[in-house]
Chains A and B, each alone.
Chain A
Amino acid sequence: MSTLVVKNLKKAFVTEGGLVNAVDDVSFDIKEGEFFTLLGPSGCGKSTTLRCVAGLEHADDGEIVIDGQMVASRRKAVPPNDRPIAMVFQSYAIWPHMTVMGNVTFSLSYRGDPGTGRGIPRSERRARGMEALKLVQLDHLADRKAPYLSGGQQQRVALARALVVRPKLLLLDEPLSNLDAKLREEMRFEIKDLTKKLGIATIYVTHDQGEALSMSDRIAVMSDGKIMQLGTPREIYLAPTSGRVARIVGSVNLLHGAIANRNGRLGEVKTGSGHLLRCLVVGTKEVGESVDVMFRPELVRILRAGDVDSNVDGAEGPDNILPGVVRAVVFAGDHIACQCETADGIVAAKLMPNSPIEQGDDIRVLISAGSCIAS
């Protein structure tokens, strides 16, 4: 059974510019224990979707079912306090007038034990709070006043406060965006570990593709209130169904062309300069229709004039070769970013840091057919 089913969710806001469809017919479902991410730029509707699931916003239309219970439909809207959820907010929302323990055990006086459905006796609440704090390694700070915590500690308290009720569904609204870069990396793994260990289904909202790709079981990429693509991190990253999705999950090269021939998923695209690129064609486009060819900079290889590569120059031959000139080289430590001018436009490439490439070099750009997506 799915822990969460969202069906045809719609939500519009009235703004100064008129009616904005913040969430426009969004549907998805989350399996038990799944880590599910809503990824997209700010204003794409991901947070509104999450707030609808939480019950903090009322959807205009559509249905939400949590753990088999209908919580939102045209007819009814169950308030947040009666939904079997827990949530971590972007600002953490740690109550400054309480201690750490006060924050963590707050929900226990309102939400019963999900197993028995009964209320949790006062005497037991502190023990449960300690248990939750141990999960995030903050049990030693239980009686500290909430304002005397660092950002990272507040984040952990917020997590403990959500986990203490043993929710069926955990909602995380950009929980890492206020942390510094190093702490953010650490917390990624910690959050994923915790939710996996406890078997909690999780919706994670973020605009950071790194977080989405590294943490999720599945990702829904959103834009303009719609889900553009839904799939595993690999599917989303390696086989985006549109240029927009490709750009949201990472940097990408785009070349324009028209389909010259197509045989199932494989096909050839003729670029403006007349090159034929072998690609994986997604979607329903037919021969003659114009398409975008996408490929990631880190999947591009560069051969300088005189470099010999057995794959390229051997009998088999490479998939695609574009001759060009290096226009700019930026050394960034863990990689070299370089911009190559080809007959079809600028191609960005991400190379190993020890690559001897220089500005002005005549080069060949190599891209395998499996890395080229035409859509």
Chain B
Amino acid sequence: MTSTAQFSNSSARQHLHKVGRNVHRALRNWPFVLAVAILLLLVIVPLALLFVSSLSTGTPGNLGEWTFDNYERVFQTPETYRALRNTVVVATIGTAISLALAVLFAWLIERTDMPFRNLSWSILLLPIAVPSILFVLSWTVLLSPRAGLLNVMLRDALPFLFAGKSGPFQFYSVGGVIFLDSIRGVTTIFLMLVAAFRLFDPALEEASRVGGANTFQTFYRVTLPALAPAILAAGMYSFISSMDNFEGALAVGLPGGVYMLSTLVYFTVSLRVPVDYGLGAVYSVLFMGIMILLVLAYRRIIRHSEQYATVSGKGYRPSRVSLGRWRYPAFALVAAFGILTVLLPMAVMAWLSLRPLYAPIVLNADVPLSLVNYANLFNGKELWRVTGNTVSMTIATATLTMALAFLISWCIVRGSARGRGFLDGLTFLPYAFPGITIAIAMIFVFLNPPLNLLPVYGTVVVLVVALTTQYIAFGTRLMNGAIIQVKAELEDAGTVGGARPLAVMWRITLPLLIPAVIAGWIWVAANSMRSFSVPVILASRNNEVFASQIWSLWQIGRFSEAAAYGTMLVLVLFPMTLLLRRLMSRAET
């Protein structure tokens, strides 16, 4: 009797001891706990609320009863299937074209003797500085079926060929969205591929040449297959971004009655009268479901592509392929790309911003150009309010994202193997969140208890939370790479030298990561400024930023003011983009 009591007593004590040890271990691991908590808040909570809302009858703030009704309605609407088909068609064709162009450009710039290669590099990078919404709106000015400048010009020049009041380009169509998506997608793929082309071990090609294959056979049988995983991964990534395309679908698809998934979501929760949040939630859930499948496929591909060790990293200067008389035509192709993506759209915007407000948009020499729109903006209060919002949103998002990314990556890279996979998966998930669904999730998060008690809905804070969720995946991947470069021994030396873990992080790890942190900060800042779907969906009178302001002015016909806003935004984004290139290339070497 006594012995059993003693036994159970000691085992209880052992158990207590064990619990105490686990608690102690968890507390010592507080960065990990913190990282997981923040990620759950940012990623899982919105996802869960969207899902719950899709099964509820009510509206944000008052969810009501459980129901499958929303799903039933979605699957009975033919519009759903049409939107899905349009989205897949646009993403497939758009990605195929951008992939072909990007591979060609990467090869021309890194592996041939095309002239002006450094300039070409910048030309391919600069589309980043032009927010999608400006790019898309400029093209509607040029190509809208009735009044589009190019359409009018063609009709005037060749009246016998193009009769009527519209065309010849029927821009408000699937074709129009594909056109914009395909040239817009080139830069992302190019940036993902260019390093692979640069670092590709020329010995592989040389071995093929020595083995008897000519230049073309070598390219076809050695270079392309060896780079195939990288190309596939970039294409997949671009396909996912195309699925997410909102600006083109909104400004070019919608006027032509062409719905895509993103615009269908937008229509349901913003334009339709009355708005239908339940339906919007279902569309969001479906949209995300598709995207999660795509992202999982993408992860498999990049895991595979990392196994291919084609990249030597030895800093070879491989011999370049001679293009002969095709040298200048090749550069002309790059230049044409620059004209279509940057020069022409920005010329249109700048020209528009100099014209009087409300003047019909036609090419007419009689309309005087002046800076009066800018003067009015600078004298008014609105510009300063919008600028204040934009700047605070940008700085807060970039700082918060990079701080979180540092914390999370540090846990991923230096943490225990068990927690690592979990965190890594959690940070990858936001890749699958289309901007528009993040924005809608934020509506549910901040209008439902308990967070509706915080007076943040309709403020810049909501934008910051939404954008941070969107960019955390990128930030974490960048920091992962950077922290892996910092040898663990450098940190161990600090600990052995007497510094506590926090002091080691502050005095050793962080200073070594400063270049990567700055590059990531600028990337996130530039993307926050350009972001469109989040600020537009979450727009209110208190949190207008440049992107949402441009859109709301455009919709009420104040084109010149919108263009002035747009031009100023691009003037800020240009130097940021060029700075980013310098920082990134320095980080690479």
Q: Is the CB of B499 within 8 A of A106?
A: yes
CA distance A132 to B175 in the complex (A): 73
Q: Tell me which residues across on chain A come within 8 A of B417, comparing CB atoms.
A: 14
B511 within 8 A of A: yes
**Contacting A95 at CB < 8 Å: which of B495, B498, B508?**
B508
Interface 0/1 of A70-99, CB less than 8 Å to B: 000000000111000111011101011100
A107 within 8 A of B: yes
B325 within 8 A of A: no
Q: Tell me which residues across on chain A come within 8 A of B512, comparing CB atoms.
A: 95-97
Q: Is the CB of B496 within 8 A of A106?
A: no
Q: Is the CB of A56 within 8 A of B490?
A: no
CA distance A171 to B492 in the complex (A): 13
Tell me, rounded to whole Å, the shortest Cβ–Cβ distance linking A204 to chain B.
Answer: 16
**Contacting B496 at CB < 8 Å: which of A85, A90, A97?**
A85
Closest to B500 in A: A81
Interface positions of B from 494 to 511, Cβ below 8 Å from A:
494-501, 503, 507-508, 511
Tell me, rounded to whole Å, the shortest Cβ–Cβ distance linking A266 to chain B.
Answer: 49
A165 within 8 A of B: yes
Closest to A167 in B: B496
Q: Tell me which residues across on chain B come within 8 A of A165, comparing CB atoms.
A: 497-498
Q: Is the CB of A95 within 8 A of B490?
A: yes
Interface positions of A from 128 to 168, Cβ below 8 Å from B:
161, 165
How many residue pairs link A and B with beta carbons under 8 A? The number is 64
Q: Tell me which residues across on chain B come within 8 A of A54, comparing CB atoms.
A: 492, 496
**Contacting A89 at CB < 8 Å: which of B493, B498, B507?**
B493
CA distance A81 to B507 in the complex (A): 15
Q: Tell me which residues across on chain A come within 8 A of B503, comparing CB atoms.
A: 110
Main secondary structure of the interface of B (DSSP, over half): helix
* Contact flag A89-B489 (CB < 8 Å), given A95-B508, A96-B512, A97-B512: yes
A335 within 8 A of B: no
Closest to B497 in A: A107
Max count, chain B CB within 10 A of own CB: residue among A87, A165, A171 = A87
Q: Tell me which residues across on chain B come within 8 A of A93, comparing CB atoms.
A: 487, 489-490, 492-493
CA distance A87 to B497 in the complex (A): 8
Q: Is the CB of B511 within 8 A of A90?
A: no
Q: Tell me which residues across on chain B come within 8 A of A81, comparing CB atoms.
A: 495-500
**Contacting A110 at CB < 8 Å: which of B489, B498, B511?**
B498
A111 within 8 A of B: yes
Q: Tell me which residues across on chain B come within 8 A of A110, comparing CB atoms.
A: 497-500, 503
Tell me, rounded to whole Å, the shortest Cβ–Cβ distance linking B482 to chain A.
Answer: 14
* Contact flag A87-B511 (CB < 8 Å), given A106-B499, A165-B498: no
Interface 0/1 of A279-310, CB less than 8 Å to B: 00000000000000000000000000000000
CA distance A284 to B490 in the complex (A): 48
Q: Tell me which residues across on chain B come within 8 A of A87, comparing CB atoms.
A: 492-493, 496
Interface size class of A (residues with CB under 8 A): 20 to 34
CA distance A154 to B417 in the complex (A): 32
Closest to A56 in B: B492
Tell me, rounded to whole Å, the shortest Cβ–Cβ distance linking B242 to chain A.
Answer: 38
CA distance A81 to B497 in the complex (A): 6
CA distance A106 to B497 in the complex (A): 7
Q: Tell me which residues across on chain A come within 8 A of B498, comparing CB atoms.
A: 81, 107, 110-111, 165
Tell me, rounded to whole Å, the shortest Cβ–Cβ distance linking A11 to chain B.
Answer: 15
Tell me, rounded to whole Å, the shortest Cβ–Cβ distance linking B296 to chain A.
Answer: 24
Q: Tell me which residues across on chain B come within 8 A of A171, comparing CB atoms.
A: 496
Q: Is the CB of A86 within 8 A of B489?
A: no
Q: Tell me which residues across on chain B come within 8 A of A96, comparing CB atoms.
A: 512
CA distance A243 to B439 in the complex (A): 71
CA distance A80 to B493 in the complex (A): 10
Interface 0/1 of B434-448, CB less than 8 Å to A: 000000000000000
Closest to A83 in B: B496
CA distance A348 to B7 in the complex (A): 63
Q: Is the CB of A161 within 8 A of B489?
A: no
Q: Tell me which residues across on chain A come within 8 A of B499, comparing CB atoms.
A: 81, 106-107, 110
CA distance A72 to B197 in the complex (A): 52
Closest to A80 in B: B495
Tell me, rounded to whole Å, the shortest Cβ–Cβ distance linking B131 to chain A.
Answer: 36
CA distance A91 to B493 in the complex (A): 10
Query: Can you report 14 residue pairs joining A to B where beta carbons are below 8 Å apart?
Result: A54-B496, A56-B495, A79-B495, A80-B492, A81-B496, A87-B496, A93-B490, A106-B507, A107-B499, A110-B498, A110-B499, A110-B503, A165-B497, A165-B498
Known: A89-B492, A95-B493, A165-B497. 15 other contacts (CB 8 A): A14-B417, A54-B492, A55-B495, A79-B495, A81-B495, A86-B497, A89-B493, A91-B487, A95-B490, A95-B508, A106-B494, A106-B497, A106-B507, A110-B497, A171-B496
Question: A residues touching B (Cβ–Cβ < 8 Å)?
Answer: 14, 54-56, 79-81, 85-87, 89-91, 93, 95-97, 106-107, 110-111, 161, 165, 171
Closest 10 CB pairs of A and B: A110-B498, A93-B493, A107-B497, A111-B498, A93-B489, A87-B496, A80-B495, A89-B489, A97-B511, A81-B498
